[in-house]
Structure 1
Amino acid sequence: MTERVSTEPKSNTSIYLQLGGEAAVHRLVDRFYELMEGLSEARTVRQMHPPSLVGSADSLFKFLSGWFGGPPLFHQERGHPRLRMRHAPFAVSVVERDEWMLCMHQAINEQVDDPSLNAKLQRMFSEMADHMINTDGCRASAATTA
């Protein structure tokens, strides 16, 4: 009996593979942090991070690897991500969420050409970013008060 190979894209193909695997996830993370570092519109969320973004980029890469269906690197190294718990020491309002999403939105648009995958990622990240809000304070950024 011969196995038939479908030329149709598999609906159960992981996001990790759809993106292009490890190298593509690294590119997305690297671009995200380049934008956070360079965009004045992201200064509030950038200030929440340490001076060097190397550790943050490593953590995000490992988290995304597993979240996208690739190797569960973060889980293997640190256990369950527990994102809200890990972000609890930081006051995350709509300002920080919007700045974080500005960077991720642009990084996705630059890295992901497939419209349906792009839309899916935008939706996933938006839902995750909304979930990270842990304060109802809407601190005004310098951009909105200037």
Structure 2
Amino acid sequence: MTGLPDGNGRADTFFAAVGGEDTFRRLVDAFYAGVAEDPVLRPLYPEEDLAGAADRLRMFLIQYWGGPGTYSQQRGHPRLRMRHAGFKVDTAARDAWLRNMRRALDTLDLPPTYEHLLWDYLTSAADSLRNAAD
């Protein structure tokens, strides 16, 4: 994969190819703008201010897609299922998460190949985090 150099001078990561940190910042900011108004998702976030959750998601996605490993440096191994175990994530929550993420992803206007790769991952990840019966 080719793209723009990332902070380490590499141009062979998805992270670099889609525009680096700026792209993931825009994605996560748009996503959490939707979460703040979502009647299904907002109660799942115990923080008054969603900034902490936004920072964690942004760092995770950046690291996952080939950017700096800040997430692991600050928080250790992602252990996504464990980190979400304390929250009821049923089909309605998964669908609301995906609905808001889809809207956010659409704001990026990524090339179709990158958009599909990212959406496939987000869909799979959201489905894997379901931990409650409907």
Q: CA deviation at 1:30?
A: 0.6
Q: CA deviation at 1:20?
A: 0.5
Tell me the TM-score normalised to structure 1 length.
0.81
Q: Do residues 45 (structure 1) and 41 (structure 2) align?
A: yes
Q: CA deviation at 1:51?
A: 2.0
Q: CA deviation at 1:37?
A: 1.7
Q: CA deviation at 1:13?
A: 2.6
Q: CA deviation at 1:112?
A: 3.2
Q: What is the match of residue 12 of structure 2?
A: 13
Q: How many residues align?
A: 126
Measured in 2, the distance between the counterparts of 1:26 and 1:45 equals 20
2:35 and 2:100 in contact (8 A); partners too: yes
Letter aligned with residue 2 of structure 2: K
Q: CA deviation at 1:18?
A: 1.7
Tell me the TM-score normalised to structure 2 length.
0.88
Q: Do residues 82 (structure 1) and 74 (structure 2) align?
A: no
Question: What does 1:55-134 correspond to in 2, within 5 Å?
Answer: 55-134=52-131
Measured in 2, the distance between the counterparts of 1:121 and 1:113 equals 10
Measured in 1, the distance between the counterparts of 2:2 and 2:55 equals 29
Q: What SS does the aligned partner of 1:113 have? A: coil
Q: CA deviation at 1:110?
A: 1.1
Measured in 2, the distance between the counterparts of 1:95 and 1:132 equals 12
Q: CA deviation at 1:91?
A: 1.0
Q: What SS does the aligned partner of 2:40 have? A: helix
Measured in 2, the distance between the counterparts of 1:90 and 1:56 equals 14
1:19 and 1:112 in contact (8 A); partners too: no
Structure 1 runs of 4+ aligned residues shifted over 4 Å read none
- Which has a greater percent of helix? 1
Q: Do residues 25 (structure 1) and 24 (structure 2) align?
A: yes
1:37 and 1:46 in contact (8 A); partners too: yes
Query: Cα deviations across residues 39-96 of structure 1 (Å, max 9, x unaligned)?
Result: xxx3111111122101001111111110111001110111100000000001100110
